[in-house]
Structure 1
Amino acid sequence: MAEIALEYAESVELVGDGKDVWVFDIDETSLSDLPYYARSDVGFGAIAFNDTKFDEWLAEGIAPAIPAVHKFYEKLLSLGFKIVFLSGSAERIKDIRISNLKGSGYHTWEKLILKKDSEKGTTALVYKSNKRKELEEAGYRIWGNMGDQWSDLLGNNVGNRTFKVPNPMFYIG
């Protein structure tokens, strides 16, 4: 997947005004939650999902980068793309998300968009569509959009090309 995305990215003629962006989801796209799922009290999903337990994992801020995606991210920066991270994570953990991204090697981005309390209850598909629409209304051109869930990639204002990262652990509708 990263090779195909890179081939496409290298073919894009950027305008160069700082508005050429690539959108990345965070969990299971840019950062791996596999260490969480490997815990004995989670059992790779054999034990029912526990929001509180998962929030505690996020609060640790230790999720590692997914190597192929991180390498692709670095290449995008070298090509002149601006990076936008768009996640359904709560805005209240923004500092943790920033620390985790930077600590795992994602050092530069144009925007980090997290879910506000007022957006709680909005489906992932509607939330992410709305945020991409806001980006485009602000003049950004979404050349690529990468995520592990179809809700990251479907809906409105999805960008010029979408790239699905495999996620065998869970599905968000």
Structure 2
Amino acid sequence: MAYLLPILLYLISTTGEIVSDHRKIRVDDDVYCESWRFSVETNDAGYWSTVPARCVQFVQDYMTGDRYRYDSEVVAENSLRFAKTVEISDSGSDGWVFDIDETLLSNLPYYQLIGFGSKTFDEESFDSWVDLAEAPALPASLSLYKELKQLGFKIFLLTGRSEYQRNATEKNLLYAGFTNWERLILRGPSDQGKPAIVYKSEKRSDLQHEGYRIHGNSGDQWSDLLGFAVATRSFKLPNPMYYIS
């Protein structure tokens, strides 16, 4: 029987190596894609146009699984915790800015059809989706929105969508449960072609010049949050599907 031991050990080691190699291939992709997503969320990745091919399935699993929902809930909880520390004045000048796409409204039904960011952005097809006005709310953001209204914040919606999409955008927001915002700001003719970070900074600056104090700003892109005339606190929601500079 002693001669069987080396054979048994060989078979175990060989099987383990195969399993190990198989797991290594799979785990390496998961680890790489998690690290890639981390670099996106921290803005270390800089400009990128499409999700890496090896990470498309990872992004799909993330966006359609529990993790995306949990991450969004944590952002909303942190936002509300800060909001409750703000002393709201009677002047009506305490503001909070929200982006819309992937911040208040989820375009996941659209991105499910086009590969979760694996293809270059197509403005025509996205505009057709916007016209449907059927994007659902991000549940955590809807809850935060309602809480901020109750606390007394004036809500400003600052989106990269264009002025001609106002009716569809308002219809969609109401459909998703968002009501009583102070102002919906869209790109006008003079805003076309401006980088998002410039356009949104200018619009926040306009609000400040009107006397509003921007305590909080919520967005899924760093270009929603950075630049000038920034909020006291900015809150980045997760979005590994696309990048806007």
Question: Taking structure 1 as the reference length, what is the TM-score of the superposition?
Answer: 0.96
1:158: Cα distance to partner? 1.0
- Structure 2: which amino acid aligns with 1:52? E
**Residue segments in structure 1 that go unaligned for 5+ positions in a row:** none
- Among all aligned residue pairs of Structure 1 and Structure 2, give the percentage whose two residues are the same amino acid: 51
* Higher relative contact order (CA closer than 8 Å, sequence separation 6+): 1
* Deviation beyond 3 Å, 4+ runs, structure 1: none
1:131-150 paired onto structure 2 within 5 Å: 131-150=203-222
Within the candidate set 168, 192, 217, 1:96 is matched to 168
Report the counterpart of residue 152 of structure 2 in structure 1: 80
Q: Which of the pair is proportionally richer in strand?
A: 1
* Runs of 5+ consecutive residues of structure 2 not aligned to the other structure: 1-74
1:31 to 105, 112, 124: 105
Q: Which has more helix, going by share of residues?
A: 2
Shift, 1:43, TM fit: 1.7
Partner deviation per Cα, 1:102-130 (whole Å, 9 max, x = no partner): 11000110010000022110000000000
Answer yes or no: is 1:2 the counterpart of 2:76: yes
Deviations 1:115-160 (A, max 9, x none): 0022110000000000000000001110100000000000011111
Shift of 1:45: 2.2
RMSD of Structure 2 on Structure 1 (CA): 0.8
Equivalences, count: 171
Q: Is the 8 A contact 1:16 1:80 kept in 2?
A: no
**DSSP-derived class of the 1:45 partner:** coil
- The alpha carbon displacement at 1:16 in A equals 2.2
Contact 1:132–1:158 (CA under 8 A) maintained in structure 2: yes
| Larger Cα-atom Rg | 2
Q: Give the equivalent residue in structure 2 for 1:53.
A: 125
**Cα distance per residue 1:53-112 (max 9 Å; x no partner):** 011011111111000010000000111111000001000110111110011000110010
| Other structure's SS at 2:181 match | coil
Q: Does 1:16 align with 2:90?
A: yes
Shift of 1:47: 3.0
Alignment TM-score, normalising by the size of structure 2: 0.69
| 1:160 pairs with 2:232 | yes
